[in-house]
Structure 1
Amino acid sequence: MRQFAEIEDLSGLVRDALGSGCRVVAVDRLRGGSKKGVYRVRLDGTRTASVIVYSWAEAENFWPGAQEADPADPFAPASGLVPFLTAQRSLDSLGARVPRVLVADDSRGRYPADVAVVEDVSGGTLEALFETDPTRAAGTLGDLAEMLEVMHRYQGQRYGRVDLLERGGSVSEVSCERRVLDRALRDLEEAAGRAGRIAAAGAALRDRLQELADRVSPRTAYGLIHGELGPDHVLVDADGHPVLIDIEGLMYFDVEWEHVFLQLRFGERYTALARPDLDPQRLDLYLLAMRLSLVAGPLRLLDGDFPDRAFMQEIAEHNAKEALALLPLV
């Protein structure tokens, strides 16, 4: 049975971050995370009402059967204190708002896992703000568009996760589009083993992926992208500014990959984030690849004991339907 953090586990760590006068009065494990634990720690005896603790303990990772990954693969599982701190530092240097880090500790002396104590951004998620205050949310969305423009225009000559590149990780000789195609073919094979209607259309989906990949022209410069940026991964601070979270997968890659995900997650609000100079051939390939990833990934997660099972099943079924809708009519 998985063991999660309690008050006594986090009190010492939080006192080290904020001073011995603060007292932990409650710890709430926030739902939704699949690779790390996210805890809201409520406090007394300090001007700070609460902080967030990230824990990369093994018990917090719900992905089953993790395998040794190609170090040059930007889609390899991104989790841990080092990827988080590197991404936090990279985004902060560009002026992109991220939670302030109060303490980061990989000593395992205060807590038996890598942990970070960060600010608790007060305004909730942009996703929630769309429902409660659409006018304020529109302003935050505009700020997010400006932030993404800065990130995407900040280019590198190599692609990959920022933490791996910073540590001198190996450089892939495979193009972004080939990397996406290979991943999509693996996702298709995996999804076909779990979803009957994907299996029935397997040959057509393989042919379509190859056809779309053949249309893509080479490219040698890459933008800085979040990689999984939905409105639930954007917090809103007291001034209404967007704050990026779940940043461990920050990478240099084709910005079309980011824009496909933005379009899926923001829906009709994506118009505020769109840009006119995207490659339509890449968008076509990446959209189908993303749909297949969002079938295979949730179904893979359900092989383990992830608690919110109905939600993951719903994601997989929706994206299976959308992937099939991308096949040309015959």
Structure 2
Amino acid sequence: MRRFMDDEVLSGIVYEALGAEADVVGVDRLRGGSRKGVYRVHTGGARGGSVIVYSWAGAENFWPAGEAVDPAHPFAPASGLVPFLAAQRRLDDLGVRVPRVLLADDSRRRHPADVAVVEDVAGGTLEAFLETDPAPASHALSELAAMLDVMHQQHSQHYGRVDVLERGDQAGGDSCEQLVLDRAIEDLAEAAERDPRVGSAVSPLHDRLQELATRVAPRTEHGLIHGELGPDHVLVDASGHPVLIDIEGLMFFDVEWEHVFLQLRFGGHYPVLARPGLDPARLDLYMLAMRLSLVAGPLRLLDGDFPHRTVMRDIAEHNAKAALASLAQ
């Protein structure tokens, strides 16, 4: 049985963040997170309103334990206060809107894990606005495109998560494309164990990955990317401006990796975010690699007790079909 944060602990953390005027009157555990707990805490009294509390406790992480990975690897799970704060600082310095941090605590005094209290951007997700309110969604989408321009135009000769580079470490591997290829081959093997259709096509999918990789020319500069930017990871504030969340994976990498994810998650709205000058060879390799990741990852998550199981099955099913269909192209 998983034990999530109780109201007494949350009250103490919010009291420390907001002061004695904050009177906790309600708590909602928000759905969707797989590596951290996200709680909306409602307050009354002189500091009435709400804040968001993040908890990076082990009980909040639904991913089954796997083989140990180098924590400096760009695709290693990004979880905890250190990558969150590094990403928050970097984006804030660039003028990219992220929730304000009201408290960051790794002391374990009140809770046996890293916690943060941040501004509650209560306007809803861009995903919801795109479905229900096209006018404000269009404005927010255009602003998001400008934000991404600012991020992607930040360059580094080294690739890796922001917190890793800040402490002077370097990610392993020879190049972004080699890291993606290596991961895709691992994802293919893992997906094949869980999906018979993928299993029957391991050889042609492996050959296709290798062929696409041979077309990619070397590169020496990398852009700043969110890494998992879907419309559910963009909030819209009361003034209609987009706010990025789930930022722990912020890293310097090939911007094409970001764009294939944007294309998959934004669908028909992607043309607003599309940009000229992207490398078509990288896009082709990264799209197939992303498809395989979105088969293996959700199916791996379902090995545990992740509650929103239908969503994960649908993601895996959709991307398995797309990966197999790519063999006919």
The TM-score, its normalising length taken from structure 2, stands at 0.98
Match of 1:176 in 2: 176
The aligned counterpart of 2:188 is: 188
Aligned to 1:211: 211
Instruction: Give the SS at the match of 1:46.
Output: helix
The residue that corresponds to 1:242 in the other structure is 242
The amino acid across from 2:270 in the alignment is Y
* CA displacement at 1:167 relative to structure 2: 1.1
| CA–CA separation in structure 1 for the residues paired with 2:42 and 2:96 | 27
Residue number in structure 1 paired with 2:308: 308
The aligned runs of 1:50-65 (5 Å cut-off) are 50-65=50-65
Query: Which residue in 2 is equivalent to 1:267?
Result: 267
Q: SS of the counterpart of 1:235? A: strand
Distance in 2 (alpha carbons) for counterparts of 1:254 and 1:7: 42
Question: Tell me, which stretches of 5 or more residues in structure 2 are unaligned?
Answer: none
Partner in structure 1 of residue 136 of structure 2: 136
Work out the CA distance in 1 between the residues paired with 2:21 and 2:151: 39
How far apart, in 2, do the equivalents of 1:23 and 1:189 lie? 52
Distance 1:72 1:53, change over 3 A: closer
1:298 and 2:284 correspond: no
- The answer on whether the counterparts of 1:71 and 1:169 sit within 8 Å (CA) in structure 2 is no
Q: Distance in 1 between matches of 2:29 and 2:272?
A: 33
Aligned to 2:10: 10
Alpha carbons 1:299, 1:316 under 8 Å: kept: yes
Greater CA drift, 189-198 or 14-23 = 14-23
Q: Does 1:68 align with 2:77?
A: no
Hey, what does 1:198 align to over in structure 2?
198
Distance (whole Å) between structure 2 residues aligned to residue 70 and residue 184 of structure 1: 17
Q: CA–CA distance in 2 between the matches of 1:137 and 1:48?
A: 28
Structure 2 residue identity aligned to 1:288: L
**C-alpha distance in structure 1 between counterparts of 2:290 and 2:115, whole Å:** 31
Which 4+ stretches in 1 moved above 4 angstroms? none
CA distance 1:48–1:168, shift in 2 (3 Å)? farther
AA partner of residue 256 (structure 2):
E
* Residues in 2 aligned to 1:25 and 1:90: alpha-carbon distance in whole angstroms: 34
Amino acid of the structure 2 residue aligned with 1:137: A
| SS of residue in 1 equivalent to 2:27 | strand
1:119 aligns with: 119
Code of the residue aligned with 1:298 in structure 2: it is P
Deviation of 1:270 after TM superposition, in Å, equals 0.2
Matched ranges for 1:19-34 at <5 A: 19-34=19-34
Q: For 1:13 and 1:215, how far apart are their aligned partners in 2?
A: 52
State the shift of 1:70 in Å: 2.0
Q: What is the identity, as a one-letter code, of the residue corresponding to 1:247?
A: I
- 1:69 CA displacement: 1.2
Q: Any gaps of 5 or more consecutive residues in structure 1?
A: none
* Preserved CA contact (<8 Å) 1:161 1:252: yes
- What is the Cα deviation at residue 67 of structure 1? 3.0
- Identity, in percent, stands at 71
Question: RMSD over aligned Cα, in angstroms?
Answer: 1.0
Which letter does structure 2 place at the counterpart of 1:82?
Answer: V
Alignment check: 8 A CA contact 2:226 2:249 kept: yes
* Contact in 2 for aligned 1:7/1:25 (Cα 8 Å): no
The one-character-per-residue Cα deviations of 1:103-145 (angstroms, maximum 9, x if unpaired) are: 0000000222110000000211000111221101000000000
Distance across 2 between alignment mates of 1:286 and 1:295: 14
The CA deviation string for residues 47-78 of structure 1, in whole angstroms up to 9 with x for no partner, is 44100000001100000013321244200111
Corresponding residue number in structure 2 for 1:146: 146
Q: Compute the TM-score of the two structures, normalised by the length of structure 1.
A: 0.98
Could you tell me whether the CA contact under 8 Å between 2:173 and 2:179 is conserved in 1?
no
Per-residue CA shift, 1:154-203, capped at 9, x if unaligned? Answer: 00110000011111113434111010000000000000000000001110
Aligned residues: 329
Distance 1:48 1:148, change over 3 A: farther
Residue 81 (structure 1) aligned with residue 81 (structure 2): yes
